[in-house]
Structure 1
Amino acid sequence: MRNKKSNGIPLFYYMRILIVKTSSLGDVIHALPIIDYLRQVSPTVEIEWVVEEQFLPVLEHNPELTRIHAVRTKKWRKAPFSRETRQDLRDLREALQRQPYDLVFDIQGNLKSGLIAWLSGAAHRIGFTREVLQEKLNALFTTRKIPFRSCDRNVTDRYLRVVSVPFGRDYREMQLAGMIYSAQEDEDSADRFMVGLPDGLVFFFQVGTTWSTKLWNPQGWCDLARKISERYPGATIVINWGSPAEKALGEEIVQKIGDSVRLLPWLTVRELIPVIKRVDLVIGGDTGPVYMAAAVGTPTVSYYRATNGAAYAPSGDMHRSIQAPMQCSGCGRTSCERDEECRASISVDAVFGAVVELIPDV
C-alpha cells in the first residue's frame, strides 16, 4: 500500500530496501543503527544488506535482516576479468534483481559499492554528495545525493542522514541501537572460555589495528597493564591479536607483567563477538573490536591519533575516548615522520584515568 512520496520517491507501508555497506569491520558496525531506524519508521520493511564475506558474522544472525549478500570484492580487484569474477557478478546481479527494491542506499561511497547498487537495477539509488566521496566515480551510480548537516559529526550520524531523508523523520529524535547477534554454539564456546579464567574483572586489550598511525606504543601497553594489575587485584587482562606483530607485542606484555595477562588464541570475527560481550572493559584504538564492544553493550576506552574520535568514538556513559593532543591529530594519514612522537602523546595516565572512571571500585 502506498504511503506518500518524498521528492519523487514512492514510500510504502511495505517496502524492500537494500543497504550497500561492504566494509570495513568497524564501519559495518557503525552502520548497524540503520536497521533499527528503518524498522521504526516502516515496521513491515524488508531489509537486505551487501557486505564483504569476512564481515558476514556481524550481520548473519540479525533477525531484522531478510537476506544478506556476501561479496568478495578484493578477489574481484585482483582478477577483474577472470571467469570466477564474472560468474560472481552474474550471480550477484541475479540475486539482487530477483525482486525489485524500492530504495537502495549506498553508504560505502566507492566505485565497487556504486557498481553493486547499479547491478540491483533499482530506480532509486541514494548515496553521498560528490564532495565527500573519496572515489568520485561513485556519484555516477546514485540517482540522489544526500548532503550532510553540521550536526552529523559521527560517522553513524552520516549514515543515518542518508537513510533518513527520504522518510522525512530526523534520526536525532529517536533512540536507536545497533545490535550484533551470535549463534548459540559460539555463545557456548565463549562461556567455556570465560569459565577457564580466574574470578575477577576481565580487561580486553585490542593492541592492533589497520594503520600504523592508529597504533599505540608497546611501552604504553605494558605500563597500562601494570597499572591495571596493581589497581585491580585478581583481574585478568586478555590480549587479542590478528597478525604476527600483534602476537609478538602480546607476548612481550605477558613476559613483562606476568600471569595476570593472557594471550588469546587467534579468534575469528564470529568467535570474537561473544567473548567481547563477556569481558568487563575493552581498550583499543580506532578499530573494529572497540566498536563491536559498544554494539554488544561492553564499556570501552578508546584512543585516536590519525583519526578523529568525534567522528568514530563510541558515545554514552559507558565509553571514554582520548584524542592525541598534537595539533595535527586527526590528520587522516596512514604514515607520518612524527609517528613515534604522536604515539607517545597518548599518555598512560590518560588511558588509565579513563579506565578508573568506568571501573572505580575494586
Structure 2
Amino acid sequence: MKILIVKLSSLGDVVHAMPAVQDLRQAFPQAQIDWVVERGFAPLVRRCAGVSRVIECDLRRWRKSPFSASTRKAWGSFKAELQSEAYDVVIDLQGLSKSALVAWLAQLTPQGKRYGLANQTEGSSFEAPARWVADVALTLPTHIHAVDRSRELCARALGYAVPKIQSFGLLAPVDPAQAAIINIAADKRFASGSVALVHGTSRADKEWPVAYWVELGKRLNASGYSVTLPHGSDAEQRCANEIAAQLEAAVVWPRLGLDALLDALATCAGVVGVDSGLSHMAVALDLPHVQIYNFDTAWRTGPVAAHQLSVFAQPAPTVETVWQTWLAVSGSVAAQTATAYQPS
C-alpha cells in the first residue's frame, strides 16, 4: 500500500501530524508513507520515522509571484515529482484550499481514494474545497486536540483503532558539534545540564515578559542548570542576549537550521517555552517540558504527558507557577536543590 500524507505547514502543525504516521506504520507495517510539506519544514519531516519520501513544495513563496518564469518552472518540477507515483490512499490532514489542491493533483491507483475533513474543528482552520476534493470526507468531533485530529482522521479513513500509546517518531541523532554549543556547564554547580528557554514566537500576544524569563533563568542557575537560548530572528536574538546578560550561566545559540536545532534541543535536560513550533518539537523529543499559555488553548495544542505540562493564566502565568510546574516535570534533582535559591 502507498499512502500520501498532505500536511504542508506550519511547524507546530507538522509536528502534531507525526503521531498519525506512527499509527499508520503500526496498522500497516509494509506501507510506503510519503509526505508533502513546505520546503522549510522538510528537514523535520525527514526525521520522522516511517516517512519514505518527502515531497517539497514552496506554495508560500510561489503565491508571491505566481506568473513568474521561476515559479512556473518550480511548480512544474513539483507537480512532476508529486505525480511520479500513484497512491492507494491520499490523506489531506490540513483541510485548506492549498492542501486540497495538492491532494487533487496527486495520482491515484485505480482503486485509490482521497480522504479529508468534512468539518471544521475548534481553533483550527478549514476551507470548503477540502471537503469537495475528497472522495471520502470524514466528520470529526469539533472539540479535539490537534494531535488527535490527525490520528483520528487517518484511523477512520483506513479502518483501524487509534493506538492507546502515542509516539511522534521524531529521530534526533545528536550532532557532537551542536552538543558542544549546549555543554557550557563545566563548573560543577551547573552539572544538571542545560534547559532551553524558548522565548520566541510568531505572535507578540503569546510572549512571556523578559523579566519573567530572567527570574526563571536565575532559579534554574541556582538549581544546577545552565540556560540556553535559541532564536529565529534578529528581534528574538536581541531578547535572548538581554536575558543571557543577566544570568550567571547562559549561552545564546547561533541561528540554527531545523536539523541542527533538533540536534541541539535533544541534548537539553528540558525545555520551558511559549506556545511555538519549537516548543512542540520539544514535546515530540519527549523532553521534560513546560509550555506557557496566555490563552486558554492548551487543551487543543498543549502537551499531555506527565512530564510535559502546560500552564495558563491571563495576562500571563507567574514565574512561581512556571517554576513549580518545572519542578513537577523535571523530577527530584531540581526539587532537592530548589531551596538553594531565594528570589529577590
The gaps in structure 1 that reach 5 residues or longer are 1-14, 327-341
* Match among 92, 103, 128 for residue 136 of structure 1: 128
* Match among 180, 184, 208 for residue 170 of structure 2: 180
What letter is aligned with 2:230? N
What letter is aligned with 1:236? S
| Contact 1:277–1:297 (Cα < 8 Å) also in 2 | no
The CA distance in 2 between the partners of 1:135 and 1:305, in whole Å, is: 27
Per-residue deviation, residues 78-125 of structure 1 (Å, max 9, x unmatched):
011222222222222222222210111111121211111111033521
| Contact 1:201–1:279 (Cα < 8 Å) also in 2 | yes
- The equivalences for 1:1-362 within 5 A come to 15-122=1-108, 123-132=112-121, 133-149=125-141, 153-171=144-162, 173-182=163-172, 187-198=175-186, 199-230=191-222, 232=223, 234-257=224-247, 259-306=248-295, 308-324=297-313, 326=314, 342=315, 345-359=316-330, 360-362=335-337
Specify the SS of the correspondent of 1:69: strand
Question: TM-score, length-normalised on structure 1?
Answer: 0.84
Per-residue deviation, residues 300-321 of structure 1 (Å, max 9, x unmatched):
0001124610111111111111
Per-residue deviation, residues 16-72 of structure 1 (Å, max 9, x unmatched):
000001111111111111111111111110000011111112122445222110111
Specify the SS of the correspondent of 2:51: coil
* Higher deviation after alignment, 16-25 or 298-307: 298-307
The CA distance in 2 between the partners of 1:96 and 1:242, in whole Å, is: 30
Question: TM-score, length-normalised on structure 2?
Answer: 0.88
Specify the SS of the correspondent of 1:124: strand
The CA distance in 1 between the partners of 2:288 and 2:120, in whole Å, is: 35
What letter is aligned with 2:298? G
The CA distance in 1 between the partners of 2:245 and 2:84, in whole Å, is: 56
What letter is aligned with 1:279? C
The CA distance in 1 between the partners of 2:265 and 2:285, in whole Å, is: 8
Per-residue deviation, residues 198-246 of structure 1 (Å, max 9, x unmatched):
333311100101111211111211221222223x0x4201111111221
The CA distance in 2 between the partners of 1:195 and 1:203, in whole Å, is: 11
The CA distance in 1 between the partners of 2:225 and 2:203, in whole Å, is: 30
What letter is aligned with 1:76? W
The CA distance in 1 between the partners of 2:214 and 2:192, in whole Å, is: 20
The CA distance in 2 between the partners of 1:63 and 1:148, in whole Å, is: 26
The CA distance in 2 between the partners of 1:43 and 1:179, in whole Å, is: 14
- Report how many residues are paired: 323
User: Aligned-residue CA RMSD in angstroms?
Assistant: 1.9
The gaps in structure 2 that reach 5 residues or longer are 338-344
Identical amino acids, percent of aligned pairs: 27
